[in-house]
Amino acid sequence: MHRSLNRTARRLEPLAAVPRSRHPLPDSSDRTQLSWSSPPAATPPRRQQPLDAPNSSVLPRSTPRHYDDYLNLLRSFVSRKALEPGKQLHARLLLSGLGYNTILATKLVDLYCLCDHVTLAHKLFDRIPKSNLFLWNVLIRAYAWNGPHEVAISLYYQMLDCGLAPDNFTFPFVLKACSALSALEAGRGIHELVVSTGWETDVFVGAALIDMYAKCGCVDRARELFDRIPNRDVVLWNSMIAAYARNGHPSEALLLCRDMVARGFTPTLATLVTVISASADAAALPRGREIHGLSWRRGFDSQDKVKTALVDMYAKSGWVKVARVLFEQLAEKRIVSWNSMICGYGMHGHAAEALALFDRMREEDQVLPDHITFVGLLSACNHGGLVDEGRSFFDSMLSDYRIPPAVQHYTCMIDLLGHSGRLAEAYKLIQDMTMAADSGVWGALLNACKIHRNVELGELALQKLIELEPDDAGNYVLLSNIYAQAGKWQEAAEVRKLMTDRGLKKSIACSWIEVKNQVHAFLVGDLSHPSSGEIYAELERLEGLMAEAGYEPDTMPVFHDVGDDEKRNMVRSHSERLAIAFGLISTPPGTTLLVTKNLRVCEDCHTAIKFISAIVGREIIIRDVNRYHHFKDGECSRLSLRQRQAQRAPALQPAAAG
């Protein structure tokens, strides 16, 4: 009836819209000082009476004028996030009899949420009628933003139980909580309701759904949804681009960005940061530079966030010096920038530079290191063979910076100790861990066991790995190699059989190189490239020169059940070699080559590429799944075992020189 008088009608709405039985008030003994308590049961509230209507007992304090004053005050508190005045007003409202007014209470809940006092907000929420969708939205939002995210989802279900239909605000909030938890099942259920309530094509709801699917790893679902939304805006495009980027599809991210520009959308800062990071992940320097150019044309390149993404991109593409130049240009160096540069040095094996940069960061004293800084430092120590420095960083995390080491830090330490042959120490560290060791930790130990040919510990690590990830073929392959190296052919074969019995296949090695803006990918023994003839001719030419220089193929990485000649052929046509040979014949002499490989570079290729770099006089950068290898003049930036041992020798015998 009075629906057309929206404002008035809302203010005057009857209060008892939610049956009390569904939301029992806590008993009175439980009430805290600030609770929005209803009057004691002996004098039940006159719930059917409009709040600010004349009432013989509360007439002076519920005049409309009074109400508006409160509302205006609360509005200003919300906009200023003024918590203390809000609390005082809360107390006064309790006395004034406006304690049941949904709108005022909701504003107060809103204020408490915005001031990070979610507990207080929730207490208040529990004591007021919940007929108001806005009230639910505000509280769900608070938990979605600040956690615990589970509460946001459970509130959403409670809201449905109350018979309220979620709207275009509820969905993005609750979906954000699902994203944070990677709660795919809950997200799917919410999606169903989105569809049946007709909100699927709303850009806000759509973006939230895309984000949820992306963070649960379902890029394809995200894309289906994206395609179904007719009127997309920039944020929706950005969400989909980010969905590809975060799920390991950098090329799709870049293509979609191109598509977006082609359709007349102007990239925003978020677009550029996302695609720059995508091209960093793809180690796609030409495309990264193209986007650098685009950022420049759009006037975004001077922004620190773009610049930091570029630091990361250039570092990952092998241009560490350019990254450093951009890093120095930053107006303000925040933790992300320091981390990008430190990690950039670390992954290229420039341990000294990484450590020096960390020292400078501490001297400048503007920002504190975080857990990522330590991942970077530890991996720098790892790639530089600095075991004792790594140990001391690891110890200082907690003692100097109050950062408890997380699983990743343990993984770095196991890697570091393990690579250096300190297997017992590594295993001891796993046993001392304060949390459960994950597959990364055991994987690091297993890898170390392979390098140092420790069969017993390797078996143990593999047992753990099979429990944790029974479907990962790589584990079986590693153990099989350990057995093979120890001459235990029988066991090696059993592991291989176990793997095939379970229907597992090793992922196929693939390497790629970009030449003139085009990606050329190669599989092992690949003959499909148009230049295959020239590629294999080049490899043969190099092999002759390598043999003269003293190169001996090591066929150990290849399984024992293959004949020697075949082994030799398999090794010589490893994908990284094909990519290098193609790079050599299709770029001018002296050009640095950047090859990316989806798995690790095998030991034999590692040796072979050292020879190649010397023979052709080129710098060759290989980015494998773990790190970067810079091959130059017959050497690699990845220290050999002997070099590592030489480095730590002085530390082991401090007094000997005396």
Choice between 225 and 484, CB closer to DNA = 225
Choice between 347 and 482, CB closer to DNA = 347
Stretch that binds DNA, among 200-208, 218-226, 522-530, 607-615 (CB under 7 A): 200-208
Q: Does 176 bind DNA (CB under 7 A)?
A: yes
Exactly one of 121, 309, 449, 499 binds DNA (CB under 7 A); which one?
309
What's the rounded Cα separation, in Å, for the pair 534 and 80?
Answer: 70
Choice between 106 and 613, CB closer to DNA = 106
Q: Which residues pair with 520 in a beta bridge?
A: 513
Looking at residue 167, its amino acid is D
153, 177 Cβ separation under 8 angstroms = yes
Q: Does 440 bind DNA (CB under 7 A)?
A: yes
| Binding string, residues 1-20; x marks residues near DNA by CB under 7 A | ------x--x----------
Choice between 209 and 584, CB closer to DNA = 209
> CB pairs under 8 A, 24+ apart, for 114-118?
114/78, 114/81, 115/81, 115/83, 115/86, 116/146, 117/83, 118/142, 118/143, 118/146
Exactly one of 58, 336, 486, 570 binds DNA (CB under 7 A); which one?
336
Choice between 215 and 618, CB closer to DNA = 215
Q: Does 567 bind DNA (CB under 7 A)?
A: no
- Closest CB 554 distance from DNA, rounded Å: 27
Stretch that binds DNA, among 31-39, 284-292, 408-416, 454-462 (CB under 7 A): 408-416
Q: Does 445 bind DNA (CB under 7 A)?
A: no
Q: How far is CA 119 from the centre of its chain?
A: 29
- Closest CB 412 distance from DNA, rounded Å: 7
Q: Which helix (H) or strand (E) holds 513?
A: strand 510-515
Strand pairing report for 635-636 and 628-632: antiparallel
Burial of 240 (0-12, 13-18, 19+ CB in 10 A): buried
Looking at residue 78, its amino acid is V
Binding to DNA in span 109-128, by CB under 7 A? 110
Report helix, strand or coil for 630. strand
Stretch that binds DNA, among 27-35, 101-109, 420-428, 566-574 (CB under 7 A): 101-109
Stretch that binds DNA, among 132-140, 290-298, 445-453, 550-558 (CB under 7 A): 132-140
Choice between 241 and 499, CB closer to DNA = 241
Q: Does 96 bind DNA (CB under 7 A)?
A: no
φ, ψ at 559 (rounded to 5°): -65, 150
Stretch that binds DNA, among 35-43, 305-313, 494-502, 646-654 (CB under 7 A): 305-313
- Closest CB 657 distance from DNA, rounded Å: 35
Looking at residue 644, its amino acid is R
- Distances from the Cα of 307 to the Cαs of 270, 287, 303, 304, in angstroms? 13, 16, 6, 5
Choice between 370 and 534, CB closer to DNA = 370
Choice between 107 and 577, CB closer to DNA = 107
276, 291 Cβ separation under 8 angstroms = yes
CA angle 283, 322, 333 (to 5 degrees): 100
What's the rounded Cα separation, in Å, for the pair 462 and 447?
Answer: 10
Exactly one of 25, 162, 270, 493 binds DNA (CB under 7 A); which one?
270
Q: How far is CA 513 from the centre of its chain?
A: 26
Choice between 206 and 421, CB closer to DNA = 206
Q: Does 271 bind DNA (CB under 7 A)?
A: yes
Exactly one of 174, 260, 343, 482 binds DNA (CB under 7 A); which one?
343
Q: Does 361 bind DNA (CB under 7 A)?
A: no
11, 103 Cβ separation under 8 angstroms = yes
- Closest CB 232 distance from DNA, rounded Å: 8
Q: Which helix (H) or strand (E) holds 632?
A: strand 628-632
Stretch that binds DNA, among 24-32, 307-315, 387-395, 476-484 (CB under 7 A): 307-315
Q: What is the DSSP letter of 265?
A: P
Exactly one of 153, 236, 354, 386 binds DNA (CB under 7 A); which one?
236
| Binding string, residues 574-613; x marks residues near DNA by CB under 7 A | ----------------------------------------
User: Nearest to residue 594, comparing CAs of 628, 630, 625, 620?
Assistant: 620
Stretch that binds DNA, among 80-88, 218-226, 335-343, 489-497 (CB under 7 A): 335-343
Exactly one of 168, 569, 587, 640 binds DNA (CB under 7 A); which one?
168
Q: Does 379 bind DNA (CB under 7 A)?
A: yes
- Order of all β-strands in the sheet with 593-597: 518-523, 510-515, 593-597, 620-623, 628-632, 635-636
Q: Does 312 bind DNA (CB under 7 A)?
A: yes
Choice between 149 and 618, CB closer to DNA = 149
Exactly one of 35, 137, 480, 596 binds DNA (CB under 7 A); which one?
137
Q: Does 50 bind DNA (CB under 7 A)?
A: no
What's the rounded Cα separation, in Å, for the pair 584 and 578?
Answer: 10
Q: Which residues pair with 632 in a beta bridge?
A: 635
Omega before 24 cis (within 30°)?
Answer: no
Burial of 654 (0-12, 13-18, 19+ CB in 10 A): exposed
Exactly one of 242, 285, 377, 461 binds DNA (CB under 7 A); which one?
242
Exactly one of 35, 96, 279, 340 binds DNA (CB under 7 A); which one?
340
User: Nearest to residue 123, comparing CAs of 245, 36, 206, 203?
Assistant: 36
141, 151 Cβ separation under 8 angstroms = no
Choice between 411 and 475, CB closer to DNA = 411
Q: Does 468 bind DNA (CB under 7 A)?
A: no
> CB pairs under 8 A, 24+ apart, for 504-510?
504/471, 504/472, 504/473, 504/476, 505/473, 506/473, 506/474, 506/477, 507/473, 507/474, 507/598, 507/599, 509/574, 509/575, 509/597, 509/598, 509/599, 510/575, 510/597, 510/598
Binding site for DNA (CB under 7 A): 7, 10, 103, 106-107, 110, 132-135, 137-138, 141, 167-169, 172-173, 176, 202-208, 211, 233-236, 238-239, 242, 245-246, 268-271, 273-274, 277, 280-281, 303, 305-306, 308-309, 312, 316, 334-336, 339-340, 343, 347, 370-372, 375-376, 379, 408, 411-412, 440
